[in-house]
Amino acid sequence: MQKKSGAVMNLLEEKQLEKEENEQILRQKSRERLLEVARKKRKKKRMRKIILTTSLLIAAAATVTLCFVFAETILQDMTDVEVDYSANNTPVNEKAPKEDVPEFVSSGYDHIEYSDASKNSRYDSYKMQNPELSDEEIVWRVNANLDKPMYEFDIPVSGYDDPYIIVNKYYTVPEGYRPPDLEDFGGGQLLREETGNAYVKMREDAQKEGLNIRLVSGYRTVEYQEGLYNRYLGSDTQENVDRYSARPGHSEHHTGMAMDIFGSQDGLRNFENTPEYPWVRDNCHKYGFIIRYLKETESITGYEAEPWHLRYVGVEVATDMKEKNIKSFEEYHAKYIG
Ligand SMILES: [Zn+2]
């Protein structure tokens, strides 16, 4: 019986042990499950963090890019000032940094009698760049195209019939331009008839006072001027040559209404030192001539002084210019001829 009860005890103990073992396994499994759940939770959390960070980075990059594009557009707008010259059939766009242009409110130019309303935007632009100039100066200078760079536009001349034709660094004659009434007024030098007759009268009156005026260069073809200009370019910079020689098509000599003269001494550069020069300076208007290029008009004509180069504009205009003390034909033309 004791033996039997001992065996029962062993069985009970075994069962108890088995039970405990099972419980331990269950606890172990449960712990493992919990750990697995916790691991999964951490993984999920990490993924959420990565997605959130990536999204934030993408959003930040997009914002920075947008800011750059926006800033660039604003800066572009600030630096573009468009000047429209289409009113004169020579469209160009000039860009100028806006920060260099002071605040400006136009008061209009109707009070200037020779103003042209179609040029108001050019007047405004030129005034912004030259605030020291009076409205009158602004208007005639723009009318004379001085707001545009010299030699950048070839505006065709008005033609043979215009006694006040302007040929300069803006206005050009076409190839083959040859006035119909050219005549030889000495030494093979050609002038238009009216110009030549005025020259002869002036020379004869000077002669009566013992002075000797000689025509040395009258009408020139575009081809001739091309050769002359290119010869100068062979030994000087273009910037320098442009100050004393006209580019082909731009010489006033093409009109047959301009001439170079010698005094009692040979040489154009000597003319200013001859007794003929002060007489010509004080009297040429009586014959319809003006000294075309003066020291004080270099910024307007683009040429240094040429006391020997005369232009025929007729007695009325030459006298009026003298009375009004207008030094350049560009100014007189822009104000009174247009
Ligand atoms: Zn000349």
Q: Report CA(262)–ligand 1 centroid distance (Å).
A: 11
Distance 261 CA to ligand 1 centre (A): 8
Taking the centre of ligand 1 as the mean of its atom positions, its distance from the CA of residue 309, in whole angstroms, is: 4
User: How many whole angstroms from 211 Cα to the centroid of ligand 1?
Assistant: 21
Q: What's the 275 CA to ligand 1 centre distance in angstroms?
A: 20
User: What ranges do the domains of the chain cover?
Assistant: 1-79, 83-148, 149-337
CA 131/CA 67 separation, integer angstroms: 36
Measured in angstroms, how far is the CA atom of residue 141 from the centroid of ligand 1?
23
CA of 259 to the centre of ligand 1 (A): 6
CA of 311 from ligand 1 middle (Å) equals 9
Listing DSSP states for 306-322 in one string gives: EEEEEEE--HHHHHHHH
Q: Using the mean position of ligand 1's atoms as its centre, give its distance from the Cα of residue 103 in Å.
A: 43
pTM of this structure: 0.69
Structure tokens at 228: 């002359």
Ligand 1 centroid – CA 258 distance (Å): 7
Number of neighbouring beta carbons within 10 Å of residue 104:
12
CA of 244 relative to ligand 1 center, distance in Å: 9
* Tens-digit pLDDT profile for residues 28-44: 766 676 666 556 666 66
CA 137 / ligand 1 centre spacing (Å): 27
Query: What pLDDT, on a 0 to 100 scale, did the predictor assign at position 40?
Result: 66
Closest by CA position to 83, among listed 169, 151, 170, 148 = 148
140 Cα–ligand 1 center, Å: 25
Distance 246 CA to ligand 1 centre (A): 9
CA of 236 to the centre of ligand 1 (A): 19
In this structure, which long-range contacts are made by residues 177-181, counting pairs with CB atoms below 8 Å and at least 24 apart in sequence? 177/221, 177/222, 177/254, 178/219, 178/221, 179/219, 179/255, 179/256, 179/257, 181/256
State the CATH architecture for 149-337: 2-Layer Sandwich (3.30)
216 CA → ligand 1 middle, Å: 9
> Model confidence over 228-273: pLDDT tens digits?
999 999 999 999 999 999 999 999 999 999 999 999 999 999 999 9
* pLDDT tens by residue, the chain, 338 residues: 455 556 666 667 777 777 777 777 666 766 676 666 556 666 666 666 655 655 565 566 555 555 444 444 444 443 333 333 334 444 344 455 555 555 667 778 999 999 999 999 999 999 999 999 999 999 999 999 999 999 988 899 988 999 999 999 999 999 999 999 999 999 999 999 999 999 999 999 999 999 999 999 999 999 999 999 999 999 999 999 999 999 999 999 999 999 999 999 999 999 999 999 999 999 999 999 999 999 999 999 999 999 999 999 999 999 999 999 999 999 999 999 98
User: CA angle, corner 103, sides to 100 and 108, nearest 5?
Assistant: 120
Q: How far is the CA of 72 from the centre of ligand 1 (A)?
A: 52
Per the DSSP assignment, residues forming a β-bridge with 72 are: none
Q: For position 77, what pLDDT does the model report?
A: 40
